[in-house]
Structure 1
Amino acid sequence: MTHHTPGHAATPSGQVSRCQGCSLCAHCLPLGLAPDDLEQFDAIIRRPRPLKRGALLVREGDPFTSLYVVRSGSFKQVVADTGYRENVTHFLLPSEVAGLDAVGEALHPTSVVALESSFVCELPFASLEALSDRLPALRGALYRCMSQELHRDQRLHCLLSFATAERRMASFLLGMSERHAARGYSPYGFQLAMSRADIGSFLGLALETVSRLMSRFQRHGLLAVRGREVTLLDLPALEALAEQGETRR
């Protein structure tokens, strides 16, 4: 599945709105803002900027000054261990916010890297905080984003602590399905822009294990893979597997 960069729409004042013409507005940070409030939010957004595959959006240790909403494309969030090896901690899809892990900190604790050609909308945090003081709905939306980030980290910790490799992979695929569905995309077919090595790093699995599991899932009719395109063929079976089961060898 390919994400397209949405067009712009004109506001009543004649200025170009980055939000009102965006197909992701109903799923994004300004969700629920009144039209006048949306214009104020729009005014603090820095011009959406493109990043090529492999480009750094933020580098671990950079000063924290802004949040970034993914407008199109996707990203991985990574942290370097003591051996300078890259560990993937999260994948970001359109409408999701990069930089939340740095709120309240002077420096970014992770790097964010584009997995494909992508666009982001930059929100200078000082401007966002000032606007949130005037718009309670925006502050509530920001708190929701931060709460979701915390909940995601808790779920991942539980998954990596107790789940088998098969449960980890099934849960990952179902999570991607749910996130695409929440944005109005198909829950059955989507592109995995990340490499299998990145998936392994995220799930705490070896690259060979990820490849073996994907092959096994295909052999048992759970999914089909063509390049980076994945089609989920049996969601109930994947859900059962994510709960506790194992596929036949």
Structure 2
Amino acid sequence: MSTSPNISCANCRISELCLPFSLSNSELNLLDEIIKRKKPIQKNQTLFKIGDTLSGLYAIRSGTFKSYIENAQGEHQVTGFHLPGDVIGFDALADKTHPGTTQALETAMVCEIPYDVLDQLSNQIPRLKMQIMSLMSAELNYNQRHLLSINQESAAQKLARFLVKFGDRLAERQLSSKEFQLPMTRTDLGNYLGLTVETVSRLLSRFQQNQWITLDKKFVTIIDHSALLQLTD
């Protein structure tokens, strides 16, 4: 049962991202009955970690997260950054345990959808099952495109594409696509793009010198969007 009675899928401003298919009021009520709206997750706190048993899927209401896997030596590989409206936890569906860790980059709020109940409910609401499949497919496609970028693009292309796509994702949330805060560290950004932190810093400086962007600590302003797009092409 929801722990926040004043919040529901019907009045959530980002529900169209995690639930873009139109559900009836009765279907939304059924979903609200199983959703657990958890307490705030603080910066650097983990939502789940490698080896944890699958308990549910998580829809991000506010804040940002990063996901990473690690090898036997404890070296991390960042696999994704997640924004409000994203649904995470699909990585555990196959083996019912999480192969990686997801950690808050800032104070965040999530809605937990218990998996066992969700599985039953999705059989009652065909459009909900369709949405889960759609989200899984979108995540797979995004990861494939990222892998292609990592293997085939230059360092400058990788960073330019990331800035453009990050802005696009913010625009989907009715936020500015050209003025935004990067919540991740440059180390994490470089790790995700397959670049050293020195390369990330050098390229950001070059983009700024070219007057494509301005940078104030973590705050980015895209001045010449077309130049970044042209570089990615």
Normalized against structure 1, the TM-score is what?
0.89
Is 1:74 the counterpart of 2:64? The answer is yes
Provide the C-alpha distance between the structure 2 equivalents of 1:16 and 1:39, rounded to a whole number of angstroms: 13
**Which residue of the partner structure matches residue 3 of structure 1?**
none
**Which residue of the partner structure matches residue 225 of structure 2?**
235
Provide the C-alpha distance between the structure 1 equivalents of 2:199 and 2:62, rounded to a whole number of angstroms: 30
| Partner SS for 1:107 | coil
Partners of 1:180 and 1:187 within 8 A in 2: yes
**Which residue of the partner structure matches residue 33 of structure 1?**
23
Partners of 1:30 and 1:138 within 8 A in 2: no
| Partner SS for 2:146 | helix
Partners of 1:17 and 1:39 within 8 A in 2: no
Question: Aligned match of 1:214 in 200, 204, 207?
Answer: 204
**Which residue of the partner structure matches residue 137 of structure 1?**
127
Is 1:97 the counterpart of 2:87? The answer is yes
**Which residue of the partner structure matches residue 65 of structure 1?**
55
**Which residue of the partner structure matches residue 112 of structure 2?**
122
Segments of 5+ residues of structure 1 without an aligned counterpart are 1-7, 9-14, 244-249
**Which residue of the partner structure matches residue 224 of structure 1?**
214
Following superposition, the deviation at residue 175 of structure 1 comes to: 1.1
**Which residue of the partner structure matches residue 22 of structure 1?**
12
| Partner SS for 1:50 | coil
**Which residue of the partner structure matches residue 184 of structure 2?**
194
Number of residue equivalences? 230
Provide the C-alpha distance between the structure 1 equivalents of 2:117 and 2:104, rounded to a whole number of angstroms: 25
Over aligned residues, Cα RMSD in angstroms?
A: 1.3
Provide the C-alpha distance between the structure 1 equivalents of 2:215 and 2:21, rounded to a whole number of angstroms: 34
The aligned amino acid for 1:175 is K
The aligned amino acid for 1:225 is L
The aligned amino acid for 1:105 is D
Segments of 5+ residues of structure 2 without an aligned counterpart are none
Is 1:182 the counterpart of 2:167? The answer is no
Provide the C-alpha distance between the structure 2 equivalents of 1:145 and 1:159, rounded to a whole number of angstroms: 21
**Which residue of the partner structure matches residue 101 of structure 2?**
111
Is 1:154 the counterpart of 2:154? The answer is no
CA displacement 1:44-94 (0-9 Å, x = unmatched): 101232111100100011111211111100000010123201110000000
Partners of 1:68 and 1:98 within 8 A in 2: yes
Provide the C-alpha distance between the structure 2 equivalents of 1:35 and 1:229, rounded to a whole number of angstroms: 40
Identity of aligned residues (%): 37
The aligned amino acid for 2:49 is R
Following superposition, the deviation at residue 203 of structure 1 comes to: 0.3
The aligned amino acid for 1:57 is L
CA displacement 1:143-198 (0-9 Å, x = unmatched): 11000110011101101111100010011111101101111111111111100000
Provide the C-alpha distance between the structure 1 equivalents of 2:11 and 2:125, rounded to a whole number of angstroms: 21
Normalized against structure 2, the TM-score is what?
0.95
